[in-house]
């Protein structure tokens, strides 16, 4: 089955009792048993719930996975993966990863004896050099935020395989429409469903998918034991959102390209970070492992002044100044003072987060209006 058909049909069936075409919101905590141990497959909604199960099957299908699990947030999904490790285990991670993932790794899990090594993964050899007998996991985020570096997933999978470690990929930015890490050798894929999968900025949720039965059993055991599950109402909203994922992504890519090219030609704009440019340092890898380049773009201003960046993000009228990404509406952000504010200036500048850096999550409005908006804000 192809992607658009799966987005609409995978995991969902007309309701058996009424024929309702949309999966009902099973807003229930428990299920009546006919006799002791005699039930219809559901006992308690932390363990499983029919609305959530439908969504878990749907997201798994989109990533060509057998098993899926949904959580109360993207970070709760990452938390579940790290809980599969033991004290003394080591993780090699992308260095310019999502700030919340960095905070979870360093302020929660290091305390429990898990060690994290952060490195620029565009150079595969720097990853191989960090492997030792305690290495149990490689954590990859690609494209990275906000400078859109691309990491070669197949190369990371080969290092993980050689070192008996599991490879997890945070696929939030690319979405399953543009990139399928399991097909490239990853063991687990994580999504902040909050972003493109939900797509309408109305839900916070996370997901994990895998084809490895042993990892899946651990995933469901931790999901049930720690209890950070997604609720039925949110699961319904995301099932609805995913039905248009393929259409939305086509438009995000189309608008992203138009805006990246507009910015590239603007005299007040210095660097534009978008993996679709042939001049992007990892363009060849992006071309190899992604079906399109998405709607996430960052750029800097000539002169690199903080107040110039503030003036642009405050003058836009259609773009909304906000954190998050991946919704139908366009957002604009200033990483140095918003998403990356907790990182010391010297550290953030090493990964390209300079004072004038502006990040766009290009939505699915009419591109001409978005370009006009940026044009007046830059003027
Ligand atoms: C937002 C985000 C997360 C965290 O997800 P939440 O749903 O906010 O908990 C993780 N990784 C990436 C790349 C994200 O953009």
Q: Give the atom of ligand 1 at the shortest distance from the alpha carbon of 76.
A: 9
For residues 87 and 233, state if they share a domain: yes
Which residues share a beta bridge with 331? 320, 361
Which residues share a beta bridge with 273? 298
For residues 104 and 23, state if they share a domain: yes
For residues 23 and 154, state if they share a domain: yes
Q: How many domains does the chain have?
A: 2
CATH number of the CATH domain containing 316: 3.90.1150.10
Predicted local distance difference test score (pLDDT) of residue 319:
98
Please choose, from the candidates 29, 27, 12, the residue with its C-alpha nearest in 3D space to the C-alpha of residue 239.
12
For residues 281 and 159, state if they share a domain: no
Residue with the smallest CA separation from ligand 1 atom 8 is: 74
Domain boundary among 242, 262, 292: 242
Task: Determine the structural domain holding residue 331 and report its residue range.
Answer: 245-378
Say yes or no: CB of residue 292 within 6 Å of ligand 1.
no
Q: Give the atom of ligand 1 at the shortest distance from the alpha carbon of 193.
A: 7
Residue with the smallest CA separation from ligand 1 atom 2 is: 192
Q: Cβ-count burial of 135 within 10 angstroms (0-12 exposed, 13-18 middle, 19+ buried)?
A: buried
Find the Cα–Cα–Cα–Cα dihedral 190, 192, 193, 194, rounded to 10°.
180
Quick one: DSSP state of residue 147?
Answer: T
For residues 348 and 372, state if they share a domain: yes
pLDDT digits over 55-86, tens only? 999 999 999 999 999 999 999 999 999 999 99
Say yes or no: CB of residue 194 within 6 Å of ligand 1.
yes
- Point out the residues that are catalytic: 46, 98, 170, 195
Q: How far is it, in rounded angstroms, from Cα 375 to Cα 266?
A: 9
Coil, helix or strand at residue 219: helix
Q: Give the atom of ligand 1 at the shortest distance from the alpha carbon of 206.
A: 7
Predicted local distance difference test score (pLDDT) of residue 368:
98
Domain boundary among 221, 242, 263: 242
For residues 221 and 323, state if they share a domain: no
Quick one: DSSP state of residue 24?
Answer: P
Domain boundary among 197, 217, 242: 242
pLDDT digits over 325-354, tens only? 999 999 999 999 988 887 778 878 888 999
| Residue 244, phi-psi category: left (phi > 0), alpha (psi -120 to 50), beta (remainder) | alpha
Q: Is there a contact between 149 and 353 (Cβ–Cβ < 8 Å)?
A: no
Predicted local distance difference test score (pLDDT) of residue 340:
83
CA 363 – ligand 1 centroid, Å: 18
Residues in the chain with pLDDT values less than 70: none
Coil, helix or strand at residue 38: strand
For residues 370 and 349, state if they share a domain: yes
CATH number of the CATH domain containing 131: 3.40.640.10
For residues 301 and 339, state if they share a domain: yes
């Amino acid at each position: 089955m192809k992607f658009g058909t799966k987005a609409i049909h995978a995991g969902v069936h007309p309701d058996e009792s009424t024929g309702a075409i949309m999966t009902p919101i099973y807003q229930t905590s428990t299920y009546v048993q006919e006799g002791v141990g005699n039930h219809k497959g559901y006992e308690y909604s932390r363990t499983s719930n029919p609305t959530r199960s439908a969504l878990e099957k749907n997201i798994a299908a989109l990533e060509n996975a057998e098993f899926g699990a949904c959580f109360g947030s993207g970070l709760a999904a990452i938390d579940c993966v790290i809980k599969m490790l033991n004290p003394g285990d080591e993780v090699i991670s992308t260095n310019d990863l999502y700030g919340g993932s960095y905070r979870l790794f360093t302020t929660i899990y290091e305390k429990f004896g898990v060690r994290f090594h952060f490195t620029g993964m565009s150079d595969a050899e720097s990853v191989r050099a960090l492997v030792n007998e305690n290495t149990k996991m490689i954590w990859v985020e690609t494209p990275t935020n906000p400078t859109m570096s691309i990491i070669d997933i197949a190369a990371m999978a080969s290092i993980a395989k050689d070192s008996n470690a599991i490879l997890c990929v945070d696929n939030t930015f690319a979405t399953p429409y543009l990139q399928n890490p399991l097909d490239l050798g990853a063991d687990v894929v994580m999504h902040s469903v909050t972003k493109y999968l939900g797509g309408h900025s109305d839900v916070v949720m996370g997901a994990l998918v895998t084809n490895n039965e042993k990892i899946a059993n651990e995933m469901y055991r931790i999901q049930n034991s720690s209890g950070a599950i997604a609720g039925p109402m949110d699961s319904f909203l995301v099932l609805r959102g995913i039905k248009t994922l393929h259409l939305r992504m086509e438009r995000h890519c189309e608008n992203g390209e138009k805006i990246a090219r507009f910015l590239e030609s603007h005299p007040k704009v210095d660097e534009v970070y978008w993996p679709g440019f042939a001049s992007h340092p990892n363009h060849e890898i992006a071309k190899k492992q992604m079906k399109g380049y998405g709607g996430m773009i960052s750029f800097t201003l000539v002169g690199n002044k903080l107040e110039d960046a503030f003036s642009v993000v405050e003058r836009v009228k259609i773009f909304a100044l906000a954190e998050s990404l991946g919704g139908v509406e366009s957002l604009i952000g200033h990483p140095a003072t918003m998403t990356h504010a907790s990182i010391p200036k010297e550290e953030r500048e090493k990964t390209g987060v300079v004072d004038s850096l502006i990040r766009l999550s290009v939505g699915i409005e009419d591109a001409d209006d978005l370009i006009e908006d940026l044009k007046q804000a830059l003027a």
